[in-house]
Structure 1
Amino acid sequence: MRTVRAYSPSPSPVEDYGSDADEQEWTVSGVVGESVDGFGQHRYVVKWGDNWRRQDGSNTTWEKPGTEGLQHFFERWDKQQRAKRMAKAQRSPEIEVGVASHHMLHEDRTIELARGYEELKKLYLPNGMDPRQPIDFDGMRKKVPGRASPPLPQHVVDARALLAQRKASQRSNAGSGPRTRTPASSSASSSSRSPSPVQGRRPVRPLPRRAGVRRAVSSAAPDSEEEPAGGSASRAARSGQRRQFKRRKSLEFKWARALQGAKSVTFVNEVNYEEVPSLVENFKYLERGYVRAPDVPSNAEVADCLVSCECDDRCDDAAECGCQGPSELVNSSGERIFAYTQRGLFNFALLPGMEAIECNDSCSCDETCPNRVAQRPRDVPIEVFRTRNCGWGARATVALPPGKVLGIYTGLLIRREEADTYQGERKSYIFDLDVHEGADDDDETDKYSVDGHAHGNWTRFVNHSCEPNLRVYPVVWDTIPELNQPYLAFVAMKNIPPRTELTIDYDPKAAEEARRSKGKHRQRTPEGARHCMCGSANCRGWVRV
C-alpha cells in the first residue's frame, strides 16, 4: 500500500496594510462569501471599503469566526443565508447531487452547505436520519491501493497508531485547551459520498358546523391488521413496506412543492403498514386559499371595496387602523381592538357572528404587522400520523402556546345548496361558512361551504374531540365580510405539548347545548349521529352528521 496525505489548507499570505495600519479606521462593506474546509471549519470572505486595496485591485480577505470587530457581520450573513436555504428547501425537496468537474475535492462541504442539505434534512428526513457517509478529511494519512504493497517505512505512522496517539494526547491535555474530534476510521468507504360587546345583528349558529364526521371517527380502518411474521409472508410484508415507503416519500415531496413557504408536512405510521392516507385520485394539496367552483363569485370582484390602513410598518392601535373600519370587535370599554395580541397570538375576543379582519395587500404595513397572522405561511411543522382508533390524525412537532394560529381549512369553495346534496365520505369533509347565518335563515343564495375531499391541506386530517385543544374562527384579509367567504383558521386553545394530537369539535352547537343542559337531563342521540370514539372524560357519546 502507498500513502497520500489528505487535503490540508495552506496558510493565508501575509497582507501589507501599510505602516500606519494600527492607527487607521477600516471600513467593511460586508461578507460576500464563505467556505467550509474538510475539517468543518468556516471561513468568510470579507469585502473591505475603499481605503484598502491590493496592487491587483482586489479588496477581499479570508477571515475566521470570532475575528474582532467582524462577528456581527458573520452572524448577519449566516442568518441571511440560512433563511435563503430554508426558503429554497421549502419550495422543493429536490437537491443536486454530485460534484462538477471543476470543483476541488476539498470543496465538498462548501457545496453541500450552498445546496442546503442540512435544511432539507430538517424538513424531510424523520428523526434526523442521514443517508450520507461521513467525510473524513482530517489530515490523517489515507491508504489507497497501489500497484505494489510494500511494507510501510518506519517513519510513516498508520491510522490505528495515529488514532491511539491522538486519544492519549487528548486524555493528557484534557482541560488545557479546546478539544478536537477524534478522526473517523480511515477505511476506503469513509471518504466516499452517497447521493443523497355586540353579539351580532341577529341570532347566529356557532362556527364551525362540521357537516359530517370522517369514517375514521367511528371505526378503525380495515387495514389495521397485525404484522405478518415468518416465511414468505414476512418477505412479502417487507416488499410491501418498501413500496409503501416510496409512496410516502413521493407524496411528501409532491406536497412540499405546494407548501408556499410553509413548514413541512410529513407522514408517520407506527400502527400498521399503511404509509399514507387514502386520498381521492388526483388529490391537490392546497396549503392556503380556495379553489372556486364555476358558479362561485371571485373575491377579485370586490377588491375595490377593501379598506386599507396607512400605519407605519406595524399596526398598534385598532382605532387608528383604517382596515378595521368594518370590524365590530371591541373590548369591555367599547374600544375597537384587534383579534390578535402584539405577539401575533389570537386573543379569543371574537364573538359569534364576527370575523377577524386582518390587514390586506393594500395596507401600508409590512409582513411583520401583528395583524397579519392567518395569512402568513405556517411556521409549525405538522405530522399526519396514524392513530390507533380514529384513522389518520394531525399533530405539531413543537409545543404550541394558547392563541397560536396553525393554518386555515382549504378546499373547493362551493354553494351550500350543492354541499347539501353530498352523501357518504364526500360529505364528511364539508365545512360550512356560516358565520353570519341565523337559525331562521332559509335563503341559500349567498351561502357557501368548503369541500376538502379532492382539494385541501393537513387540516382535513384533524379529528373530532368533545374536549378539543383547537378552536376554529373566521378570518378575512383578501375579501369583505359581506361576501360570506371567510377563511377558517385553526388556533390552539391551550398549551399543547409536542406531538399531541390536534382536535376540534365538529359540532360546537351540540357542545353549547350539552353545557346548558348539564345536570338537567341527558341529551338524546340525534337522528343520523355517529358513535364518538374521542375517549375524552366528557365525551357526549355521539357526533352529529
Structure 2
Amino acid sequence: MMWERSPTPEESWSDVSGGNDNCEWPIKGIVGEEIRLDGTPRYEVRWGNWSRPDGSNTTWQSDIPDRPDLVNRWKRMQSRKRAALAENGLDMDVRWKDDTIHQRLTHQRSQGYEEKKQRRFSDLSTANWDEEVENAYKRLQERSVEDSGPQLRLILTRDIPSQLSSSVSSPRRGRPRLDISIPLSPQSGTSTSTAAHLQLPSTTPSSSEPRVIYSIQTLRSRLERAWTRAARDVMAVGVRIDRSIADENIPRDLSKFKYIERGYLFDDGLQQVFDVPRDVFTICDCFQCLDASRCSCQAISEILDSLQRKTYAYTKGLFTFNVPQGTEVIECNKFCGCGPRCQNRVAQQPRDVEIEIFDTKRCGWGARTLENVPKGKVVGTYTGKVIRREDVDAIPEEHYGYLFDLDGTEIKNEENLGNRYTVDSYSCGNWTRFVNHSCNPNMVVYSVVYDTIPDVNMPYVAFVARQDIAAA
C-alpha cells in the first residue's frame, strides 16, 4: 500500500540491565506523537534505565495500556498548546513534499489544524447580507425607530441552522448566533434610549433558511460579550460589566480596547527576547511534583522553608505567602514532564473566579468578585503590552495610570542587572487594569515565571487574595 510505514524493528530488551524482576522497564514519559494516515495516533515513549547502543532511549507505541495517565496527560497538554496556537492566528504552514505525504496529518495536528478550522468557520458566510441589511433598514423606517445615542447599534443576528451548529462555537448557552454590528444614522422624531432593547419580528423563515432577528444592543453589552468571549477562548470564566453603567459613561477608548485574559503582547521585537529556546529552560521530569528539593526546575528557586529546604509557593492550590520580597516564584513550565494539574502550576491555570467591572462612584471603575474567594487564591495576572522601561517617557500621558513595572526582583538603591520592562494595559489587557489602589488592600501581588526564564526579566504579576474576600 502506498505510504504505508514499514514495521518497527524488534527491540532487544533481554540483554539490557535496569528492568525489574518481570523484565519491565519504567516509562519516563511521552515525548512525541504521530498521526497515521488512518487518523489514529502513536506515541514516542522515553524509557528509564534502558537505551540502545547508540544512546537513544525512545520507542514508538500504539498504546500504553498500563499507563493511561501518561496518555491522558499528554493529550491535555497538547490540547492546550493547540488552543493557544489557534488563539494566536489561523495561518497554516504547508511544507510537506510528495515524498512526505504520510506526515501530513501529524503536521496538521502539531499546528492545531482542527482548532484553527473551528475558529475560522465560526464566522458564517455573509452572502446575501447586503439585501438583509437593506431590509433591516426598511423595517426600522416602517416602525419609526430612531437612534438617539452615538453608541447605539443595530445588531443583525442570524440563528444558525441546526445542521451547522456542530461546527460553530459560541460562549452562549443554547443555540449559537452570529452578530454583525451596523451603525444607525440619527433621525428626527421619536427616539429610543441607549439602554433600550428592541426586537423586531422578521418574516417567518423556512426550515432551511437562517432566521433573522433585528435588535438594538448597547455598547456595554457588546464590550461584555467581547471580553467574555476572549476569556473563554483560554478556558477562563466570563467577565461582567455592571448593568448600571450607561453607554455615555463608558470611555470612548474602551470601544477599541483589546481584551487579553492571559499573557503579554510585545513591542519592538521583545517577543523574541521573551521566547527562549527549550534548551535554556530548567526542566523537571517529575510524575508529580511533590518535593521541591527533588524537582529539577526548582534548582534556581530561592523559596525555602524554616529548615532552609526548598519548598513550593503553594499548598493545595493556594499561595502560602512564604515568598521573600524580591523573590520570583518558579512554576513548572511547558517542557516539564508533570501534567497540567501539577501542584506547582497555579498562576498559569485559567481564571475560575467570575469578575464584574463596576463604577466605584469615587475612584472611577473598579473590579469585584461575584463569588467568595479564600485567602491565598490566585485570582489572575496583569496583562498588556510589554515595553522597555526607558521608553515609558515617550508614551502618551493618559497611559501612566495603567503602567505596571516588572520590578519584583529589583532592589532599591542597588545595581540591578539586565534590561528592565514595564507592562502597559491602557490599550490592551484584562480586568486587572481596573483594580484600584487601597491603603488596606485585600490582594497582594508577586512575580511568577513559567513561560520564559527568570534571566529575561519579564515575569508575570499575579494577584492573590491576602484574606478571605466575600462576593460582591
**TM band (smaller chain):** 0.5 to 0.7
Q: Using the alignment, how far apart are the partners of 2:279 and 2:440 within structure 1? A: 42
Contact 2:245 2:358 in 1 (8 A): no
Q: Using the alignment, how far apart are the partners of 2:236 and 2:263 within structure 1? A: 13
- Correspondent of 2:226 among 240, 246, 254: 254
- Correspondent of 1:385 among 358, 370, 381: 358
Contact 1:318 1:324 in 2 (8 A): yes
- Correspondent of 1:298 among 234, 255, 273: 273
Contact 1:330 1:336 in 2 (8 A): yes
Correspondence for 2:324: 351
Secondary structure of the 2:446 match is strand
Question: Does the alignment pair 1:120 with 2:172?
Answer: yes
Contact 2:326 2:411 in 1 (8 A): no
Correspondence for 1:435: 408
Correspondence for 1:405: 378
Q: Which runs of 5+ in 1 are unaligned?
A: 1-86, 103-110, 122-131, 133-192, 197-234, 500-545
Secondary structure of the 1:434 match is coil
Correspondence for 1:97: 159
Q: What per-residue deviation string (whole Å, max 9, x for no partner) do you get for residues 73-102 of structure 1?
A: xxxxxxxxxxxxxx99xx889998365599
Change (3 A) 1:239 1:409: closer
- Correspondent of 1:370 among 343, 347, 352: 343
Deviation, structure 1 residue 397: 1.3
Contact 1:271 1:388 in 2 (8 A): no
Q: Using the alignment, how far apart are the partners of 2:385 and 2:378 within structure 1? A: 22
Q: Using the alignment, how far apart are the partners of 1:367 and 1:487 within structure 2? A: 18
Q: Give the AA of the match of 2:460.
A: Y
Change (3 A) 1:444 1:453: farther
Correspondence for 2:193: 238
Deviation, structure 1 residue 464: 1.2
Correspondence for 2:446: 473
Question: Does the alignment pair 1:311 with 2:373?
Answer: no
> What does 1:55-70 align with in structure 2 at a 5 Å threshold?
none
Correspondence for 2:17: none
Correspondence for 1:451: 424
- Correspondent of 1:464 among 431, 437, 440: 437
Q: Using the alignment, how far apart are the partners of 2:348 and 2:298 within structure 1? A: 16
Q: CA RMSD in A?
A: 3.9
Change (3 A) 1:358 1:407: same
Aligned residues: 298
> What does 1:453-532 align with in structure 2 at a 5 Å threshold?
453-499=426-472
State which drifts further: 257-266 or 404-413.
Answer: 257-266
Change (3 A) 1:392 1:374: same
Deviation, structure 1 residue 301: 2.9
Q: Which runs of 5+ in 2 are unaligned?
A: 1-82, 84-114, 125-156, 179-189, 198-214
> What does 1:7-26 align with in structure 2 at a 5 Å threshold?
none
Q: What per-residue deviation string (whole Å, max 9, x for no partner) do you get for residues 391-433 of structure 1?
A: 2111121110001111110111111111244453211111001
Deviation, structure 1 residue 237: 6.8
Change (3 A) 1:194 1:413: closer
TM-score w.r.t. length of structure 2 = 0.55
Q: Give the AA of the match of 1:467.
A: N
Change (3 A) 1:276 1:367: farther
Secondary structure of the 1:473 match is strand
Change (3 A) 1:334 1:249: same
Deviation, structure 1 residue 241: 4.8
Q: Give the AA of the match of 1:417.
A: E
Q: Using the alignment, how far apart are the partners of 1:458 and 1:327 within structure 2? A: 29
Secondary structure of the 1:491 match is strand
Q: Give the AA of the match of 1:316.
A: L
Q: Give the AA of the match of 2:442.
A: N
Q: Give the AA of the match of 2:318.
A: L
Contact 1:470 1:493 in 2 (8 A): yes
Deviation, structure 1 residue 436: 2.3
Q: What per-residue deviation string (whole Å, max 9, x for no partner) do you get for residues 265-307 of structure 1?
A: 1211426554745435642211111111114352223542211
- Correspondent of 1:322 among 291, 296, 302: 296
Deviation, structure 1 residue 469: 0.8
Change (3 A) 1:346 1:244: farther
Q: What per-residue deviation string (whole Å, max 9, x for no partner) do you get for residues 102-132 of structure 1?
A: 9xxxxxxxx99x9999x724xxxxxxxxxx9
Q: Give the AA of the match of 2:379.
A: L
Change (3 A) 1:315 1:430: same
Q: Give the AA of the match of 1:255.
A: W
TM-score w.r.t. length of structure 1 = 0.48
Q: What per-residue deviation string (whole Å, max 9, x for no partner) do you get for residues 360-400 of structure 1?
A: 11111101111101111111111111222122111121110
Change (3 A) 1:244 1:278: farther
Q: What per-residue deviation string (whole Å, max 9, x for no partner) do you get for residues 26-74 of structure 1?
A: xxxxxxxxxxxxxxxxxxxxxxxxxxxxxxxxxxxxxxxxxxxxxxxxx
Q: Report which of the two structures shows the higher radius of gyration computed on alpha carbons.
A: 1
Change (3 A) 1:248 1:318: same
Correspondence for 2:244: 270
